[in-house]
Amino acid sequence: VERSRGLGDVYKRQELFHMADIIPLIGIPYPPSGRSNYNIPCPCCDDNPRKKHLNINLQKDVFRCPRCGFSGGVFDLYAYYAGISRESVREALIARLDVHGNIPNPKPIKVEEVPECPLADIDDRHATYSALLSRLSLATDHRENLLSRGLNLEQIERLGYKTTPVVGTGVIAKQLLAEGLYLSGVPGFYRKNGQWMFVSEQRGILIPFRDLDGRIQGLQIRRDNVSKRKFRWVSSVGKSDGCRAESWVHIAGDLRSTIILIEGPMKADIVHELTGQTVVAVGGVNALSHLEQALRTFRERGVKKVMTAFDMDFLKNPHVKNGYENLKTLLIQTGYEYGVYLWNPDYNGLDDYVWKYCLQGGKPSQ
C-alpha cells in the first residue's frame, strides 16, 4: 500500500510500478541523456511548451510543480494524464503492463545514479556561506541597484549581498576546505572530477536567507536581465555530491506581536530597513513547506497577527491567488489573526511603494 509523505500529499511508489514504467503510457517526454531528475511543461499551469516547471524524479518516483503545487507519485501522475480516478490506477496499470512490469512498446531508460548529499545542519551551512560571501565582492551595477531601492552602503554590507562568482569557484572551495568548513550538504557545492566546486549560475545578486538567529540557511539569486523567474534558489541538486535547496523562511528584524509576510528576502530586507517592522519572507506564495513550523515557533515567541503583503499582481494571477488561499488556510489552522496590505498597484511590490513614500517625505504606516 502506498503511504503518504506529508505536505503536498506526495506518495511513495508501490514496488510493482515505477515512474519510468508509465512515461511511454502517458506520452510525457523522456529524460534527456539518461538523467533521473528532469523538468517538463506542467499540464496544470504552463501555457507555453517552452516553460517547464513540472519536475519528474525517477529515483524517488515522485513529481512536483513548485509553481502551482501539482505533485504526487506514480499513481497520481498516471491518473491525471489518463483521466481516471486514482483508485482505478492499479488495475489499469496491471491491464497495460504484464506481471513482470514490461512495457508493451518499450523504450529503455538508463537512469543515471547521481549521488546527492543530505542537507548539512544550519550551523555548518551558516559558517560555510558566511566564509563564501566574505570572499566575494559586490559589482558596481548591483550596488547601484540596491541603493536605488532604498538601502544604504552600511545596510548593504551588513545584509551580505554579493555578486555571483563566475570563475574561480574551485579555488574558493579549496580555501573553504582548508579552513575546516563543510561543503558536503551545503546547497550550491558539488564535486566535479573529484574536486569541490560552487555552482556557476547566471550573473546576479546573491541574497542570504536568514533564520531567527540571523544564520544563513541558504542563498537565492536575483538574476540579471530576465523577466521571468528572476529569483532562484542556489542549488546543486542533480550534480555529483550536490544538495538541493529547501523552501526556507527568511526573517528580517526582531519578532513583534505583528509581522509582515512577503515574498522574497530582498523585499523583506528593504521593507524592514525602511520601516523597522518585522518582515518574514517565503520564496514564493506557493512555497509554504517550511512556513507552518516557523509560524508555530513565532506563536511561542509572542507573535499574534500576520499581515500579508504579496505583490499586487496576486489579485489577477490565478496561480498566485491559489497559493494565497492555501496560505490563508494555514494561518487559520495555526491560530493567527491575519490581514492584507493593499497599496497603489502602480507599485507592484511593497518595497517599491514604501521607498517611493519615503522619498516623498512621509513616514510609512506602522
pLDDT at 12: 38
Cell for 238?
542533480
CA distance 273 to 252: 9
Rg of the chain in Å (alpha carbons):
22
pLDDT in tens, 284-295: 776 788 899 999
Angle between helix axes 169-178 and 122-134 (nearest 10 degrees) is: 120
- pLDDT more than 90, % of the chain: 46
pLDDT in tens, 123-142: 999 999 999 999 999 999 99
pLDDT in tens, 182-212: 999 999 999 999 899 999 878 999 999 999 9
CA distance 353 to 343: 7
pLDDT at 315: 66
